């Protein structure tokens, strides 16, 4: 039986025959070894716009010796405060940047103009609706942190639903007033939830709702007749939205904000809901017509809403949402979790490795769809 030997350098020797392959130092792919040997040696300039823990910064710098990593968050903050003493240094770093990583709100407004060599942006968020249009229309590739938010955001949806059926706000007010008034709470089991958006977040909401014995309906952008999705009893098309709304005790919004979904829930849709139904929004504030929503509360078109997102954030002190008793809200924290920075950085590190090796990205944004 012939035995072949390939010696790439003094560290790596690969033997293989017609039947078996032997790798003396755990390199498992001939293709990977050849790719590494032929890989160009030019530096990849990476700019980080968001403050990161030292451990996460180390993870990024450990991805490859080709990565030249510069953390510029302090320079951006100083510039925003009017301190231009280091503007030349910041301009030089952006001028050579090929890759940018961070939260979108930490990017300078003129990011594209300042980064003439920019090839790829990795956002720490899943949504990219806040990226400037010049970037969305440019050849720059965009990846996001999609997939990280399913668990925390689905849990917030269930939290708000449980607060409504158990009337948790009344218990809080009783404690404040030192009152004791017994009542009969409702249960989620047997109720119907409609989920608008069946991506990672929507599917996790469906799974949790099923665990509570709920009937689950959903709307999927790429709906196909006869389509089935785990934990979803029925999938509707966008055109069937009024029919879905009329059947639901809870409606949960879990889709990205795009030109197609902006203002998707307005007066017509709110009037299609049951008077006893609740709206839960952990997606984006602009998906809902807020003026119509406030009227819906005041005129009792619906029973209430759980809102984690708003068109204007933070809410202004005179916002009417503060005074509505049938609104439960949180300050846009549904996607947060203690190790979020680590998880997002792990996605970036994997994509940085893929970028350097010329491999397909994880979670690349389709600019045409907006997500």
Closest CA to 331 of 319, 340, 341: 319
Record the tokens describing residue 244, joined without a space: 């879905």
- Cβ-based neighbour number of residue 263 at 10 Å: 14
Buried b (16+ CB within 10 A) or exposed e, 316-328: eeeeebeebeebb
345 and 339 Cβ atoms separated by less than 8 Å: no
> What is the rounded CA–CA span in Å between residue 284 and residue 238?
18
351 and 67 Cβ atoms separated by less than 8 Å: no
For residue 276, is the peptide bond before it cis, meaning its omega torsion is within 30 degrees of 0? no
**Residue 332 designated active-site:** yes
User: 148: number of CA atoms within 13 Å, CB side?
Assistant: 25
**Residue 106 designated active-site:** no
Q: Identify the active-site residue in 299, 313, 336, 359.
A: 313
Matching residue, tokens 């998906």: 287
Q: Identify the active-site residue in 332, 346, 350, 354.
A: 332
> What is the rounded CA–CA span in Å between residue 220 and residue 162?
25
Show the DSSP H helices in 52-199 as ranges: 54-61, 73-80, 87-96, 111-114, 133-136, 150-165, 168-177
126 and 146 Cβ atoms separated by less than 8 Å: yes
Matching residue, tokens 């409606």: 251
Contacts of 112 (CB under 8 A, 6+ apart): 118, 132, 134, 135, 138, 140
**Residue 363 designated active-site:** no
- CA 1 → CA 4, 5, 36, 201, distances in Å? 10, 13, 29, 54
Q: Identify the active-site residue in 215, 284, 290, 363.
A: 284
Catalytic residues: 284, 313, 332
């Amino acid at each position: 039986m012939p035995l072949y030997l390939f010696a790439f350098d003094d560290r790596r020797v690969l033997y293989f025959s017609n039947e078996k392959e032997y790798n003396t130092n755990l390199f498992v792919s001939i293709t990977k070894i050849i790719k590494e040997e032929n890989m160009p040696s030019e530096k990849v300039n990476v700019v980080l716009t968001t403050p990161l823990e030292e451990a996460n910064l180390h993870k990024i710098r450990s991805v490859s010796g080709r990565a030249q990593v510069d953390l510029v968050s302090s320079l951006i903050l100083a510039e925003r405060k009017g301190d231009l003493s280091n503007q030349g240094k910041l301009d030089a770093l952006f001028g050579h940047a090929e890759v940018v990583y961070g939260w979108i709100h930490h990017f300078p407004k003129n990011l594209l103009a300042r980064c003439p060599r920019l090839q790829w942006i990795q956002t720490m968020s899943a949504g990219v609706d806040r990226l400037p249009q010049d970037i969305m229309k440019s050849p720059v590739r965009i990846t996001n942190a999609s997939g990280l938010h399913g668990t925390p955001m689905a849990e917030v949806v269930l939290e708000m639903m449980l607060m409504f059926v158990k009337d948790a706000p009344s218990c809080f007010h009783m404690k404040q007033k030192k009152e004791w008034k017994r009542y009969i709470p409702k249960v989620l089991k047997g109720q119907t939830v409609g989920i608008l958006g069946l991506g990672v977040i929507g599917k996790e909401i469906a799974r949790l709702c099923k665990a509570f014995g709920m009937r689950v309906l959903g709307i999927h952008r790429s709906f196909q007749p006869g389509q089935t999705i785990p934990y979803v009893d029925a999938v509707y098309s966008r055109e069937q939205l009024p029919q879905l709304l009329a059947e639901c005790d809870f409606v949960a919004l879990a889709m990205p904000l795009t030109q197609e979904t902006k203002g998707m829930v307005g007066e017509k849709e709110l009037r299609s809901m049951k008077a006893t139904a609740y709206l839960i929004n952990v997606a984006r504030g602009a998906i809902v017509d807020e003026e119509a929503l406030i009227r819906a509360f005041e005129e009792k078109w619906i029973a209430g809403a759980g809102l984690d997102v708003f068109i204007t954030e933070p809410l202004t002190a005179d916002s009417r949402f503060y005074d509505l008793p049938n609104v439960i809200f949180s300050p846009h924290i549904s996607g947060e979790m203690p190790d979020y920075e680590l998880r997002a950085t792990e996605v970036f590190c994997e994509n940085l490795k893929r970028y350097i090796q010329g491999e397909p990205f994880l979670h690349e944004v389709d600019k045409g769809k907006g997500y």
